[in-house]
Structure 1
């Protein structure tokens, strides 16, 4: 954000030259940021990251509107919605970090030419482009590493989570003609996510990823049951347990959906390249590591471990981090390069967005409608 501010001030074309005002929101989730402070100062190792990582439960993520904008519960969310309605921006950029993988961009409207600019930025900075991003597994591709966010629609809980099918602050200003770009930058890069070649054994890889996820989920569910009774005195235990319960809820369904022998025939996985299957493997490890890391924090904060869970959690975290590091060859990307990548992609999106016609109110796209998306916690 500060880099963008410096460049907007230094380059008159970015402001007066395009009759543009830049509004920069430094952090949408200050509470979440505070809870991640233990790893933000380093050391930047995978084990340290996941043992201190925090992401809110689905219902406390400020960009999601599972019950619609009118029912937004978080003050941060309500403030952002009000700002969007007041400013009606031509472009909204939401800067995200991917723990392990590659860089990619998600758009609420097409922005021709962005894929080529992202390719140039990524090549200059040595950032792998994620050509089969798991977050956008079922979404239309607008170009390499650029995806179209579908309008919110009713669906299953799995669709709400994996397809971002619920209403969100990304789509809320759509009615004003706003284009939203979600810019994802990796902290640890994996070169294989940029490999668009056919995978030599896609079915076997899917079975392996699914089998590992099932085994890890069973272990984590058992550990959670053993740990939970001893958390009464742990401050904010509910905040840490909420995402744990979310992950444990969706993991069995994810494993079944990814397994070629059990996946639903009505909703098959898209054809997966090496990049896509690498992203699937990373996603399976990610949800396990996040769950294990949160449980590790809960036990550590309790000050005692009557369930004997810490040794098992440490072994699981170490094993899955080793797979990232040695199996997937994940490599740390310095923060300076992460920030530079995001800044350059935002500036590229801006340069293209100010030249495109302003979109109409409620674009009339198929499946766009006023109906409330399925509440993720009630499906």
Structure 2
């Protein structure tokens, strides 16, 4: 059991575990809380290490129950989305105290608390607060796709399966869950669920939960663009074969741990909840001029990307560390942006269906991305400058910091983005997972 086992063995009895879905938690803090929960409920709750990250951090699985049917919930798949780890802990405590979730003794709930603890360690500074947008991007990090553990290398790819991915697929192969939930977050937008299979009766409790949290349903997320939608805010993933080019820039559901679980008959639900809510993402009114809006989005993203690529060229020679995850992520985002802009060109977008069918929500999701992607790149350039030296570094730091602040203000003001309290984010995500479970169990 190693390091994780020592930590878990030292847990004290009688210590309150969570006290409700009140705040974000880091990976090591989550492991400690899981250990306390196991100490309070021996025989019902178990904690074990199921793998080790690239950086040597433990991958911790918390299980509640001893039934033969399994639910698997995965927290922290992206380090800039901390809600999932908090939701996993909250759901674990619910599973302890609500026997109906265990269906007597027939269902075991399993929680992989943080799939990418190395990435989470790069963002944990924000969790200490205050939870402002500016501080979120001050500590922003999101890896390139070949560093995201939920993705498997497509055929012909020049990157290998990550140890975190191997650990997750190993857990899936061991448990053979009938339901897998991937717990994601959205920085600005609304809530939506991506599914590998239909879940009967999900639409009503999902909408009710979002309303209770004051969160809009996202009716046009750019990463589920024109996917089949069995209900408001719910989308069915395409089942297309993996791409033949092996590009590391491709995110295809067929090359994911979500699809890996399907070999056991599982449905995977990717549950997204926003940190800052933007009501426009639920507006189903027809777009006045979708062709013009798409062309403008493509043009804007290209225009924003070019000066950021030039900034990186200025910063690169100043870096004390010429390689690293932040630099790799910046390079990847800069490479992805032109391709995304191409996909939004009216002639390309029309291939997925008539442009006249696009709504304000569809275009809002795309427009948010035209602001979000340059902001993410700029924020990580600012972090790279912390590891730079030379007379040009000071002015560059001031310039990039000013750009981050301006882009945050623009994103917040343009879309009327409103902070969603962590309690509401966690509560809504947990209720959604339970609604999916009820629809399948």
Same fold (TM over 0.5): yes
Change (3 A) 1:72 1:348: farther
Per-residue deviation, 1:157: 7.0
- C-alpha RMSD over aligned residues: 2.4
Aligned counterpart, 2:260: 172
Distance 1:126 1:157 in 2: 42
* 1:295 counterpart SS class: helix
Q: Quote the Cα distance in structure 2 between the aligned partners of 1:157 and 1:67.
A: 8
State the TM-score, normalizing by the size of structure 1.
0.86
Aligned mate of 1:137, from 213, 225, 232: 225
Contact 1:135/1:163 (CA < 8 Å) preserved in 2?
no
Alpha-carbon distance, 1:148 to partner:
0.8
Aligned residues: 350
SS of the residue 1:186 aligns to: strand
1:242 to 299, 311, 328: 328
1:159 Cα deviation after fit: 9.5
Tell me the SS of whatever aligns to 1:322.
helix
Per-residue deviation at 1:179? 0.7
Q: Among residues 156, 159, 166, which one is paired with 1:78 in the alignment?
A: 166
- Asked if the contact 2:218–2:233 (Cα under 8 Å) also holds between the matched residues in 1, the reply is yes
Deviation by residue 1:319-343 (Cα, 9 ceiling, x = unmatched): 3212221111111111111110110
What is the CA–CA distance in structure 1 between the aligned matches of 2:343 and 2:163, rounded to whole Å?
35
Correspondence for 1:283? 369
The question of whether the paired residues in 1 share the 8 Å contact of 2:142 and 2:329 is answered with yes
Provide closer, same or farther for how the CA distance between residues 266 and 196 of structure 1 changes in structure 2, counting only shifts above 3 A.
Answer: closer
Question: Which of residues 96, 115, 118 in structure 2 aligns to 1:28?
Answer: 115
User: Equivalents in 1 of 2:337, 2:251: separation in Å?
Assistant: 15
Structure 1 residues 164, 309: CA separation in 2 closer, same or farther (over 3 Å shift)? Answer: farther
The higher relative CO (CA closer than 8 Å, separation ≥ 6) is in 1
- 1:295 maps to 381
- Quote how far apart the aligned CAs of 1:263 are: 3.9
Unmatched 5+ residue regions in structure 1?
355-379
Per-residue CA distance 1:265-299 (angstroms, 9 max, x = gap): 64568632111111101111111111111111001
Match of 2:209 in 1: 121
Specify the alignment match of 1:336 in structure 2. 423
Given that 2:145 and 2:248 are in contact with CA atoms closer than 8 Å, whether structure 1 keeps it comes out as no
Distance 1:252 1:51 in 2: 25
Q: Which moved more, 1:76-85 or 1:294-303?
A: 294-303
- 1:195 paired with 2:274, answer no
Distance change in 2, residues 1:341/1:88 (3 Å) = same
SS in 2 for 1:345: helix
Q: How far apart are the structure 2 equivalents of 1:120 and 1:193? A: 17
Q: CA distance change for structure 1 residues 305 and 195 in 2, over 3 Å: closer, same or farther?
A: farther
Tell me if the contact between 1:108 and 1:171 (Cα under 8 Å) persists in the aligned partners.
yes
CA deviation string 1:295-324 (max 9, x = no partner): 110012325562643344234323321222
Q: Deviations over 1:351-375 (max 9, x none)?
A: 1111xxxxxxxxxxxxxxxxxxxxx
Equivalent residue for 1:153?
A: 241
Aligned to 2:340: 254
Corresponding residue for residue 273 of structure 1: 359
Equivalent-residue separation in structure 1 for 2:349 and 2:434 (angstroms): 41
Deviation for aligned residue 1:91: 0.5
SS at match of 2:386: helix
Structure 1 runs of 4+ with >6 Å offset:
156-160
- In the other structure, the counterpart of 2:3 is none
**Structure 2: gaps (5+ residues):** 1-87
- Per-residue deviation, residues 221-254 of structure 1 (Å, max 9, x unmatched): 10111111111x23x8421111111111121122
